[in-house]
Structure 1
Amino acid sequence: MKKILVPTDFSEQAENALKVAAQLAKKHNCEIHLLHIIEIPMHKVDALSSYNNLPEAVYFMKLAHKQFEELKAKEYLKGLVIHEHVDLHEIFKGIFQTCKKYSIDLVVMGSNGVSGLREMLIGSNTEKVVRTSETPVLVIKNSHDKFNVNDFVFASDFKDESKSSYKKAIDFAKVLDAKIHLLMVNTPNKFITSAKANKRMNKFVEEFKFSNYVTNIYNDLSIEKGIMNFSKSINADLIGMSTHGRQGISHFFNGSISEDLVNHAKRPVITFKV
């Protein structure tokens, strides 16, 4: 992990994410890329003109750069390599393109729940960023003076299509020196016996050379509640899960699970694209 992207609207929630990113950057010698997205309706932009000729763009870009200078002067960012970017895109497109252009390893975003960042993490933007990002997305819900991850819950249905995201979770756990708690949630509508669940989980992990994990089967009324209640029961520091674009993962993360967790979980959540 060498490059961390922090999208910001200069709110308190975005700064919570930046503080976590700064801690990770200092521990692992990473660079931080700050990104501010200016959302200007595209019908206002002449296809043949430069964005710089648009008065609104000029004003907001100058304002953003001024706010960047104030932000970069913060004590917790001293000694770090900080890059600033201002872009005119839809939020999820701007994040996607910045990740691709600069080979970003991790996106760290702030949210305070359903109300979230009004310009960053609500409604369809949450789904588009969290569920479609090719880069792992870490969503920070609160202020963390010390962001230490000892216990990392990775929830899955443990089918083969989730193996690529679990590999990413392992890599992240190694960086943080965290123990992974593999979690399968059993619900009344999608119930399987403990014997079958254990067999599936054991087969799932057998090809990975990673031993710092335990397996868990947890019964609850819904997958979302099961993940949150289990995580609370072990006082987990982080919740991780797979995402699969717009289609979700068959029989498990179908549609809204990742978005619901980002909105409702009180703990940090990280998502890995399959």
Structure 2
Amino acid sequence: MKLLEKILVPIDVNIDFKEQLNTAIKIARSYNSEIIVMYVLSEEIVHNDIKEIVINAISENLNKVKEILKKEGILIKEPSIVFGNPVDKILQSAINENVNLILIGSGIIDKNEKFRLGINADKLIRLSDKPVWVVKSNEETKLTNILCPVDFSDPSRRALKNAIILSKKFKAALRILGVYKPFVTTSLRLKVDTKEENAYRLGLIEKEMKQFLKEFDLHGINHVIDIQAGVAHENILHTIKEYGHDLLVMGTNGRSGLNRIVMGSVTEKVTREMPCSFVTTKTQDIIQLRFDNEIKEIEIHFKNANDLVENGFYEEAINQYSICLQINDMHIPSFYKLAESYRHIGKNEIAEYYENRAKALLARLWDKKIEFEIRKHYRSDN
């Protein structure tokens, strides 16, 4: 079982892709993922002699990338060169290869441009159902300080789920940010106590945040819950700069682009500024659980379960520990791990049941061992 099986890395050999490749290596090494490298060449090149020269040059660069990944011990599929529209071909490849993640560079941006996100990267975010990780060029993604803004919508729910997974895997700090719009008035006619009104609004979002976070397991994660008053996209950009966040995780929704409730328009306004590397999630998670139904060995199921626990997938881990007990109903470590997993999801009575079964089994085995030693002793005396 692999939690993050495949990463699609479309490379533009004409620009600096060092940080894009470094980030891909970092993720692949952590999850034992396969990297799929591709280059999309425009069909505008029609002269065969020119096309051959260009293809040879690109192939040489892709082979260098392949060797770098091999030296790093990363599993890599043979790099490919395809012809056509970059966005269309990347999306098609992501579907054909059934990748977990598309990892791209931010692209070439003119210094005079207002927005820092490349055109192709922007289109991929809008059109891809797969999670898209955009690496900020010329800036190391350390994966130590993650920001996840939430507005309690389904897109932000998915984003936070993935942010928590990444925080656990990379032992990164996580800031969960909620922004509410403060009441402001300059009218002398309105007799409103702005302090009282804003205190009321703050109380509402604090209550909503508390309820929202009940769905997530934040145990063992160095996290901060940060509620601010202001304009959402401005606060997010300011927070990234003030606290030095190196990864932003946000949610998007719908094929027409970004969810227009609150989070979508905010996501668009933030990501086009390219404040740091970021991940956008839409209908799929970065981590997709894929099991081989033919696996029977208890050790593999137990290892699968432990990996799931480490990444916060307690219900899925429970399923794997249960399979261990189907194979061997005296597998004591699985009993204890089931108890631990059920406690994580708040089912303490079931946890106690499995813990008691483990203790009873240990006691029975211990009694048998003592009985065996006594019998052995008497046999030796005779």
User: Shorter-normalised TM-score: what interval?
Assistant: 0.7 to 0.9
- 2:71 and 2:268 map into 1 onto residues whose CA distance is 30
- Give the 3 Å change call, closer, same or farther, for CA 63–30 of structure 1 in structure 2: same
Q: Which residue of 2 aligns with 1:214?
A: 224
- Give the 3 Å change call, closer, same or farther, for CA 247–107 of structure 1 in structure 2: closer
User: How far did residue 54 of structure 1 move?
Assistant: 7.7
User: How far did residue 189 of structure 1 move?
Assistant: 8.8
User: How far did residue 9 of structure 1 move?
Assistant: 1.0
Query: When you count helix as a share of all residues, which structure comes out higher?
Result: 2
Q: Which residue of 2 aligns with 1:17?
A: 20
Q: Which has the higher contact order (CA 8 A, sep 6+)?
A: 1
- 1:2 and 1:210 map into 2 onto residues whose CA distance is 24
Matched, 1:34 2:40: no
2:118 to 118, 122, 137: 122
1:89 to 80, 84, 91: 84
Opposite residue 72 of structure 1, the aligned amino acid is K
Matched, 1:3 2:6: yes
- 1:85 and 1:75 map into 2 onto residues whose CA distance is 15
Secondary structure, in 3 states, of the residue corresponding to 1:195? helix
Opposite residue 232 of structure 1, the aligned amino acid is K
CA deviations over 1:90-139 (Å, ceiling 9, x no partner): 222222222222222222211267449xxxx633x233212332222221
- Give the 3 Å change call, closer, same or farther, for CA 262–112 of structure 1 in structure 2: farther
- 2:272 and 2:155 map into 1 onto residues whose CA distance is 25
User: How far did residue 164 of structure 1 move?
Assistant: 2.9
1:179 to 164, 168, 173: 173
Query: When you count strand as a share of all residues, which structure comes out higher?
Result: 1
Matched, 1:258 2:252: no
User: How far did residue 72 of structure 1 move?
Assistant: 2.7
Query: What TM-score, normalized by structure 1, do the two folds share?
Result: 0.78
Tell which deviates more after alignment, 157-166 or 25-34: 157-166
Matched, 1:224 2:233: yes
CA deviations over 1:122-164 (Å, ceiling 9, x no partner): 33x233212332222221114456x432221101211245323
- 2:278 and 2:6 map into 1 onto residues whose CA distance is 19
- 1:244 and 1:262 map into 2 onto residues whose CA distance is 15
Matched, 1:73 2:82: no
Q: Which residue of 1 aligns with 2:131?
A: 136
- Give the 3 Å change call, closer, same or farther, for CA 97–172 of structure 1 in structure 2: farther
Secondary structure, in 3 states, of the residue corresponding to 1:271? strand
- Give the 3 Å change call, closer, same or farther, for CA 161–4 of structure 1 in structure 2: closer
**2:133–2:279 contact (8 Å) kept in structure 1:** yes
Q: Which residue of 2 aligns with 1:198?
A: 206
The 5 Å alignment of 1:44-63 reads: 60-63=54-57
- 2:242 and 2:70 map into 1 onto residues whose CA distance is 32
- 1:73 and 1:160 map into 2 onto residues whose CA distance is 41
- Segments of structure 1 that go 5 or more residues without pairing to the other structure are 46-52
- Give the 3 Å change call, closer, same or farther, for CA 58–261 of structure 1 in structure 2: farther
Output the aligned Cα RMSD: 3.2
- 2:70 and 2:89 map into 1 onto residues whose CA distance is 26
- 2:54 and 2:27 map into 1 onto residues whose CA distance is 30
Kindly tell me the number of residue pairs found equivalent between the two proteins.
Answer: 257
CA deviations over 1:181-224 (Å, ceiling 9, x no partner): 1112234699982112112222222122333333212233x422
**1:113–1:263 contact (8 Å) kept in structure 2:** no
User: How far did residue 73 of structure 1 move?
Assistant: 3.5
Opposite residue 244 of structure 1, the aligned amino acid is N
**1:136–1:270 contact (8 Å) kept in structure 2:** yes
Tell which deviates more after alignment, 63-72 or 223-232: 63-72
Matched, 1:104 2:99: yes
- 2:175 and 2:66 map into 1 onto residues whose CA distance is 36
CA deviations over 1:70-95 (Å, ceiling 9, x no partner): 33334885432222122223222222
Larger radius of gyration: 2
User: How far did residue 56 of structure 1 move?
Assistant: 7.1
Percent identity reads 23
- Give the 3 Å change call, closer, same or farther, for CA 161–236 of structure 1 in structure 2: closer
